[in-house]
Structure 1
């Protein structure tokens, strides 16, 4: 997919509710993703047609309210979120790395909304250090169309974000060492996603490069 020529739509006006994001270019990956039936295109049901990249939110504040299933973009942080637990993040090539305190050691994790199913994903070796021996979950997942198995164990170590103790979680890993090279290259402990924050509101402050949890 990455070695092929792809088309794009230019100057498409994009809005989030009443917020006008402006005119953007949209890349098109031919023959990728799920096909939308032609007879449903004009219906009122929501359609998943693509992915938003972080560059849309630069110089803005993105608020994701998981419990109430809401998302907001603002240029000024509302007062009610001022006491959220904020930590500075590192951003590289659009990827956000946030600090977790794992066993009293600060470790950077990639925050990936695409990793929706997993609170934590890391190497088998690191998973062994923070979890019980018993595998409590397993499933087949995919990365860019390639399917493989991942295994989950209950975390028995303390994990915090700043001063906030995070809820008990399951840490996942694969036995193919599929992402180990990526973790090392990016200098991260692993990946975290939506699953760790489903009971929280998160604030991604791109203006000040800080990540908040409320």
Structure 2
């Protein structure tokens, strides 16, 4: 389980993050449903069924079952250097050779049945050894930039389309902030309005916040369980407790079940985020029973109950922009 975006978010608001240049991914028009799978894990706090959200990736001429982790905390989609080298050794035609800058050019692949073209994609060193699903990279926020996507958590699918799902109207949506490839969602936590980073890479955590807020949201008498978490080569300490509280987001009140704060993050950076109105971060677990619709064309979103239509419309819908 990785938490790269928590550190990236802190760095961004500390004016340290510098966005790297990378051509956007190219997706086809129309409606496309991409199934996903959950990676589960075992932690000292108990079993975690939502440790990571994995998208099946299909490479040309490669019969292996491969995945990208869906991580909106990463601004760009990347592949892991060792994974690429191994795949090229086993299936030479599945991937182009890296150029002198260590990038893959004109790289085409599929997510489920949806064709994706990456004019240029970067490589990053990351340890891919060990058992479990073969994860060869990270699908970053460039996958959804400027697009409409419904994350159907109960149906385990990402649904890409040209306009909003048919029952939704622009007036049903809530404004969000889309900045430097990061999604921030307005929320109400203990009666206070705040903004939360939405990070699918911090998948298992309904709410990552500071230690004081975590204590206030914890169930009275609940034990705080601490355990190490790796974040792109750095080790942080997750401090997690049960919570009977809930937060309001997208006009819906969602139960937390757990609340977490991270040890190893400088207090000055946490305080800086608080002063800017950033109350923390939320991951996939908060929405596990919902459909989250992100319209990153119009910078708005909605949280729908399980069973609600998730399929964005095609054709000349009111929200279509070409």
Which TM-score band (shorter chain)?
A: 0.7 to 0.9
- Structure-1 residue corresponding to 2:282: 192
User: What does residue 176 of structure 1 align with?
Assistant: 264
**1:34 is aligned to 2:121:** no
Q: Secondary structure at the match of 1:129?
A: helix
- Alignment correspondent of 1:42: none
For the Cα contact (< 8 Å) 1:98–1:110, is it kept in 2? yes
Write out aligned runs for 1:55-70 (5 A).
55-70=142-157
Q: Select which of 299, 302, 319 maps to 1:212.
A: 302
The answer (yes or no) to whether the contact 1:123–1:174 under 8 Å persists in 2 is yes
Match of 2:239 among 151, 157, 174: 151
Matched ranges for 1:117-136 at <5 A: 117-133=204-220, 134-136=222-224
- Please give the per-residue CA displacement for 1:171-198, whole angstroms capped at 9, x wherever unaligned: 1013434576157258311110011111
C-alpha contact (below 8 Å) 1:84/1:213 kept by paired residues: no
Q: Answer yes or no: is 1:203 the counterpart of 2:293.
A: yes
- Once structures 1 and 2 are overlaid, which stretch shifts more, 82-91 or 150-159? 82-91
Preserved CA contact (<8 Å) 1:151 1:172: yes
Tell me, which stretches of 5 or more residues in structure 1 are unaligned? 38-44
> Normalising by structure 2, what TM-score?
0.56
Q: Does the CA contact (< 8 Å) of 1:102 and 1:157 recur in 2?
A: no
Match 1:105 to one of 192, 199, 207: 192
Tell me how far 1:120 sits from its aligned partner: 0.6
The CA RMSD over aligned residues, in Å, is 3.0
Paired residues, number = 203
Aligned-partner Cα distance in 2 for 1:64–1:82? 18
Q: Quick one: structure 1 residues 182 and 25, their matched pair in 2 at CA, closer, same or farther if it must change by over 3 Å? A: farther
TM-score calculated relative to the size of structure 1: 0.81
CA contact (8 A) 2:197 2:281 kept: yes
Q: Secondary structure at the match of 1:50?
A: strand
CA distance in 1, matches of 2:172, 2:267: 29
Between the aligned partners of 1:118 and 1:6, the Cα distance in structure 2 is 36
